[in-house]
Amino acid sequence: MSNFRTTSVAQVRRFAHWQDPGEAVTRAFGFTDGVLPDDQQVVVDDELRVHLPGKRVPLASDRRSDWALFCQEHFGLQSRFWPRFDRHPLNTDFVWNPVGADPRVLSEAEVTQYNEQGYVVIEDALDQSFLEQLTGELDAHDADRLKTLERKGNTEALKKISFSAQPSRQMRTVRQLSVLPVFQHLGHDLIGPDVRLYWDQSVYKPARCTDPFPWHQDTGYTYVDYQQCFTVWIALTDANVDTGCLWVLPGGHRVGTLRHAKSEYGNVVFGEDPGNMIPVPVRAGSMAVFAATLPHMTGANKRGWTRKAVMLEYAPDGMNRIAVDPWGNRTKTPAAYLDSHYQLLRDGVPTSLSI
């Protein structure tokens, strides 16, 4: 791919979030009526800046991932700020829709960060007594798993990451966790008035586990017709770079669902670490809240104790799974299993649940 491309203003205006420079800027560049004509030639470079030919000062500069994807797909231009994006074949028209217009629990600064970076951290979301109760119940469940592996002589599995899918089906404390007011309010802020629990799982990374969990998006497992679901990653023990905390690609959520490949631990979206990834350390009882389209991974646990976490994913009521049948036809099925994907909010009001 080239490191610049000459195109027209009409072409860059096809980008969903494109904004023309203000009148003062366009006049300063010699457009006396303050308007850029559609046929005006411009140059787009690999720093995602838009120039007039022969001019060094850019008309516009946008480093967001969706603009990078637009430049990649329309101009054959690979940005030096982002990895190459490969859309999921069903993701043809995703546009990030800003959230948090009337927030209940997030601050205006957190809403801005979520829309721009794709994640926020909420410190001390769980009180100590509930955290201990929750961790104790999940520990007992994991201990049963370890005993089973030992009895079967599967010693290699003891060294690997442990997943427990949908513990809310078996554990009352996990169900209580999933409907706490903070998650009801987050559902309102990030999705809207009708919200369901979509998925939950615990993830235990044992001592000295060198296996990272690969780069992926949570929407990369099952394609759905609403991609702006959100995930809550709750640290049960301190999670930092040494114990295998989250790493994210900030701002990468805006491209929508990407194509994933299979790996030992699940689906993977990038073959190598992107250059602008950052760690998201959280202490026990705190949590990272991120868009389900945000690329993320977790690193190795270098410490001599198990790093423990539980995650919850929330989605709007009425969301559907989309698949392609053997004849190439799209099929649509409801995403919610009513016995486990229970509703938290209906018309913005908490539902009555027998937890």
**Is the predicted pLDDT of residue 122 greater than 90, yes or no?**
yes
209, 159 in Cβ contact below 8 A?
yes
Question: pLDDT (tens digit, 9 = 90+) per residue, 155-182?
Answer: 666 678 888 889 999 899 999 999 999 9
Q: What is residue 155's predicted lDDT score, i.e. its pLDDT?
A: 62
Q: What number is the average pLDDT over the span 232-246?
A: 97
Query: Alpha-carbon distance 246 to 70, whole Å?
Result: 28
Query: Alpha-carbon distance 128 to 118, whole Å?
Result: 28
DSSP 3-state of 345 = strand
Both structure tokens of 197: 């629990």
Question: pLDDT (tens digit, 9 = 90+) per residue, 250-309?
Answer: 999 999 999 999 887 789 999 899 999 999 999 999 999 999 999 999 999 999 999 999
- H or E element in which residue 112 lies: helix 108-117
What average pLDDT does the chain have? 92
Both structure tokens of 351: 């539902």
CA dihedral 93, 342, 192, 88 (to 10 degrees): -10
Residues of each domain in the chain carrying CATH 2.60.120.620: 108-350
- 28-32, 60-64, 65-69: least confident range: 28-32
Question: pLDDT (tens digit, 9 = 90+) per residue, 198-222?
Answer: 999 999 999 999 888 999 999 999 9
Cα–Cα nearest to 223, from 315, 91, 66: 91
Query: Alpha-carbon distance 8 to 10, whole Å?
Result: 5
Question: pLDDT (tens digit, 9 = 90+) per residue, 295-351?
Answer: 999 999 999 999 999 999 999 999 999 998 889 899 999 998 877 789 999 999 999
Whole-prediction pTM? 0.94
For domain 108-350, give the fold.
Answer: Jelly Rolls (2.60.120)
**Is the predicted pLDDT of residue 1 greater than 60, yes or no?**
no
Q: What is residue 354's predicted lDDT score, i.e. its pLDDT?
A: 64
Rg (CA), the chain: 23
Query: Alpha-carbon distance 220 to 114, whole Å?
Result: 20
DSSP 3-state of 83 = coil
Give the strand pairing for 278-280 and 246-248: antiparallel
**Is the predicted pLDDT of residue 25 greater than 90, yes or no?**
no
Give the strand pairing for 230-235 and 287-291: antiparallel
**Is the predicted pLDDT of residue 150 greater than 80, yes or no?**
no
Looking at the DSSP bridge assignments, the partners of residue 121 are 288
Amino acid at 154: N
Q: How confident is the model at residue 154 (pLDDT cuts 50, 70, 90)?
A: low
93, 85 in Cβ contact below 8 A?
no
